[in-house]
Amino acid sequence: MTDQHTKADPTTVFPMPDRSAQDRIDHPGLTSDLVTAPDHGEDSYRGSGRLEGRLALITGGDSGIGRAVALAFAREGADVVISHLEAEQEDADATVQLIESAGRKGFSVPGDIRDEEQCRSLVDKAVEDLGGLDILVNNAAFQMAQMGGIAAITSEQFDRVLKTNLYAMFWLSKKAVEVLQPGSAIINTTSIQASNPSPELLDYAITKAGIVAFTKGLAADQAARGIRVNAVAPGPIWTPLIPATMPADKYESFGDEVPLARPGQPAELAPAYVFLASNESSYITGETIAVTGGTPFN
């Protein structure tokens, strides 16, 4: 990967991950399970103080997009709390090390955000550890591809997807607005699935479309308080979630279908979150930034 400020061909700026050699892994999956580790910006992201002194909570911050955002926030000057499942402690520890290597405070909080009390206590813990809260990134999500479509999606899976992707976002945001002050930001992770749903990810796509509507509605609700609410819509991004939730014949061609003809890397998402968290986006709320490799987001 070249430096973030060097001109580069977007079709080749990141190397193609070795998908054919990748075995399917157990959910939730760890970064160490991947044959080709995702690029989170470890060697390329350079901060410029755009989030100096800010205090951020990032759900699903242990790996993938969440880790890349945590790294970028820290290098921009923010202290960061990440949340994660207990099974992801190894990845969470690595993310905290990246935050601290940038000279910022980093904390990890294990737990399952499908529980309302866990969500409320997570915000309280972030405020306690950081001394306040300025940025909430609702990034954690669950998906599990079912090649049989709706007939193969159980009520148990449907409940887990909605609880993780929608209920938790609602609970976390509701608790966070109690402490967020003017100038704060909430950033939600939606997906290209919100506008281009795949049949095997029907339940996941439903939640991602709901996140777009939630973002618009909450932005209008909080605008008078000076709290901005926006979203980022990733396309196919290479993270442990992919081989942990898709059959091999799907992830071996993962990302080939987009105009740039490759899966994206978490490092390519982080700048969008930094922009939406910073004062540079002060006149933007209720919007979704699509980072999809060229696939239109409608």
**What are the residue boundaries of the structural domains of the chain, listed by start?**
49-291
Which helix or strand (DSSP H or E) is residue 289 part of?
strand 288-291
The parts of the chain modelled with pLDDT lower than 50 are: none
Q: Are 256 and 16 in contact (CB under 8 A)?
A: no
Query: Would residue 204 show up in a list of annotated catalytic residues for this protein?
Result: yes
Residues in the chain: 298
pLDDT tens digits, 213-270 = 999 999 999 999 999 999 999 999 999 989 999 998 888 899 999 999 999 999 999 9
Residue 75 near residue 46, CB atoms below 8 Å: yes
Whole-number pLDDT of residue 250 = 86
Count of CA atoms in the C-beta half-sphere (13 A) of 259: 8
Return the structure tokens found at 197: 């749903």
Distances (CA, A) of 50 to 6, 47, 81, 280: 20, 7, 18, 8
Contact 245, 256 (CB under 8 A): no
Give residue 2's pLDDT.
59
pLDDT for residue 298: 81
The structure's pTM equals: 0.96
Q: What's the pLDDT at 243?
A: 92
Catalytic residue chosen out of the listed positions 204, 251, 273, 283: 204
* 57 bridge partner residues: 81, 136
Is CATH 3.40.50.720 the classification given to domain 49-291? yes
Q: Which residues of 112-137 are buried (b: 16+ CB within 10 A; e: fewer)?
A: bbbebebbbebbebbbebbeebbbbb
CA distance linking residue 137 with residue 229, whole number of Å: 10
**Contact between residue 137 and residue 56 where contact means Cβ atoms under 8 Å apart:** yes
Instruction: Tell me how far apart the alpha carbons of residues 90 and 20 are, in angstroms, rounded to a whole number.
Output: 25
Give the H/E segment covering residue 207: helix 202-222
